[in-house]
């Protein structure tokens, strides 16, 4: 492939995606840490975020944003949602005209309530903006286990070309033109994953987890459709697929946060122990603002918000859900 890929971000998912694209096209990634860059270039490893995993040997890394992207035909943003705007601002003068910019982040920006593609369109108007999303646990994918994802772009022609950039033998990539729905599915499911983890940590059973996932899918679909996503998107990889993986896997950061909360640990202690970002903690306040704005009831997300921001206990959260009135399954509750 003649395309050159520039990826910004040296965390677990960014590194995994860079290792995938390096199998198809020359790829250079940017990381803040010189130690991480040296590890990738010399050892083909990123021991900090992907211990024991072998990376594609042709992958190159640098601490210079300019060096990573100045010749790139595709820019991939592999940084957390709350850092996204600043990194793109730092990068924007080095991005060639009309180059597609693809987000890997699954979050919403606090303050503006913007999706990452909206930030791209604000900072770099005229550049095709898209998102790669789905049930993608980096440790499994870097180990070569089969997985599937979605590249969402408004322009089908560009999406079809980007499909070739990301797909490998065990990593299947589908296209979707519902950018809003795909992006919201990835952001909203993180809050439900915290709730599922809270139940697991508190000793709840499989029935409880199933109920949280199912009712959680219903509420994230309600908000996603109200904001312009298509219902069928939330039944696919970017919705249900991502939600299930994030709610059941011990590799999920958001579920892990919930699990430790369910065990009685304090949120600040949990966050301080983590080397990676759990986007649901950052985004749940934004989600509740959007729920109020669009007049959508999201009872599970509301109880997670109260635990994360109001100091409620996990027991308070489940008591609040149980006490809600019951009606039709099609209704909130």
Distance of CA 192 to the CA centre of its chain: 13
Is 276's pLDDT higher than 80?
A: no
**Mean pLDDT of the region 217-243:** 97
Please name which of 212, 207, 185 lies closest in space to residue 196, comparing C-alpha atoms.
212
How far apart are the C-alpha atoms of 50 and 196, rounded to whole Å? 25
Count of positions (residues) in the chain: 333
Is 43's pLDDT higher than 70?
A: yes
How far apart are the C-alpha atoms of 206 and 298, rounded to whole Å? 22
The pLDDT value recorded for residue 1 is 67
How far apart are the C-alpha atoms of 265 and 166, rounded to whole Å? 38
User: What residue ranges in 49-159 does DSSP mark as E strands?
Assistant: 60-62, 74-77, 101-103, 129-133, 147-152
| Inter-residue contact 141 to 134 (CB < 8 Å) | no
Distance of CA 210 to the CA centre of its chain: 22
Cα dihedral across residues 32, 38, 40, 45: positive or negative: negative
How far apart are the C-alpha atoms of 173 and 332, rounded to whole Å? 33
Please name every residue paired with 175 in a beta bridge, in sequence order, or none if there are none.
151
Please name every residue paired with 132 in a beta bridge, in sequence order, or none if there are none.
151
Q: Which domains does the chain have, with CATH numbers?
A: 5-177 (3.40.50.720), 188-322 (1.10.1040.10)
pLDDT tens for 70-125 read 999 999 999 999 999 999 999 999 999 999 999 999 999 999 999 999 999 999 99
The SS3 assignment for 176 reads: strand
Percentage of the residues of the chain whose pLDDT score is greater than 70 = 98
Half-sphere exposure of 157 (CA within 13 A, CB side): 1
The SS3 assignment for 18 reads: helix
> Which of 157-166, 196-205, 275-284 is predicted least confidently?
275-284
Please name every residue paired with 131 in a beta bridge, in sequence order, or none if there are none.
103, 152
How far apart are the C-alpha atoms of 236 and 234, rounded to whole Å? 5
CA angle 75, 63, 124 (to 5 degrees): 30
Query: Helix 206-226 vs helix 299-309: angle between axes, to the nearest 10 degrees?
Result: 100
pLDDT tens for 279-330 read 888 889 999 999 999 999 999 999 999 999 998 999 989 888 887 777 677 7
pLDDT tens for 13-38 read 999 999 999 999 999 999 999 999 99
**Mean pLDDT of the region 66-71:** 98
Q: What burial class does residue 79 get, using C-beta atoms within 10 Å of its C-beta: 0-12 exposed, 13-18 middle, 19+ buried?
A: buried
- Residues catalogued as catalytic: 189
Q: How are strands ordered across the β-sheet holding 129-133?
A: 60-62, 27-30, 5-8, 74-77, 101-103, 129-133, 147-152, 171-176
DSSP 8-state symbol, 92 = G
């Amino acid at each position: 492939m003649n395309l050159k890929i520039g990826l910004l971000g040296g965390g677990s998912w960014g590194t995994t995606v860079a290792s995938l694209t390096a199998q198809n096209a020359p790829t250079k990634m940017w990381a803040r840490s010189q130690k991480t860059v040296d590890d990738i270039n010399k050892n083909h490893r990123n021991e900090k975020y992907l211990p024991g995993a072998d990376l594609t040997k042709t992958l190159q890394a640098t601490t210079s944003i300019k060096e990573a992207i100045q010749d790139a035909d595709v820019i991939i943003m592999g940084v957390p949602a709350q850092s996204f705007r600043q990194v793109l601002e730092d990068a924007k003068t080095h991005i060639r005209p009309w180059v597609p910019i693809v987000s890997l982040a699954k979050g919403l920006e606090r303050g503006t309530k913007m999706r990452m593609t909206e930030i791209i369109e604000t900072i770099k108007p005229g550049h095709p903006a898209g998102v790669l999303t789905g049930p993608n646990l980096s440790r499994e994918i870097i180990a070569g286990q089969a997985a599937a994802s979605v590249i969402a772009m408004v322009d089908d022609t560009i999406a079809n070309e980007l499909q070739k950039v990301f797909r490998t033998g065990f990593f299947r990539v589908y296209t979707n033109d519902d950018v809003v729905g795909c992006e919201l599915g990835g952001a909203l499911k993180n809050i439900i994953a915290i709730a599922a983890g809270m139940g697991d940590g508190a000793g709840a059973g499989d029935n409880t987890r199933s109920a949280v996932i199912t009712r959680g899918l219903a509420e994230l679909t309600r908000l996603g459709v109200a904001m312009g996503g298509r219902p069928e998107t939330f039944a696919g990889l970017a919705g249900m697929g991502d939600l299930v993986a994030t709610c059941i896997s011990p590799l999920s950061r958001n579920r892990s946060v919930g699990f430790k909360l369910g065990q009685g640990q304090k949120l600040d202690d949990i966050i301080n122990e983590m080397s990676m970002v759990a986007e649901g903690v950052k985004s749940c306040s934004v989600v509740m603002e959007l729920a109020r704005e669009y007049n959508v009831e999201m009872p599970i997300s509301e109880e997670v918000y109260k635990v994360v921001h109001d100091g409620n206990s996990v027991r308070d959260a489940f008591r609040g859900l149980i006490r809600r009135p019951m009606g039709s399954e099609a209704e909130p509750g």
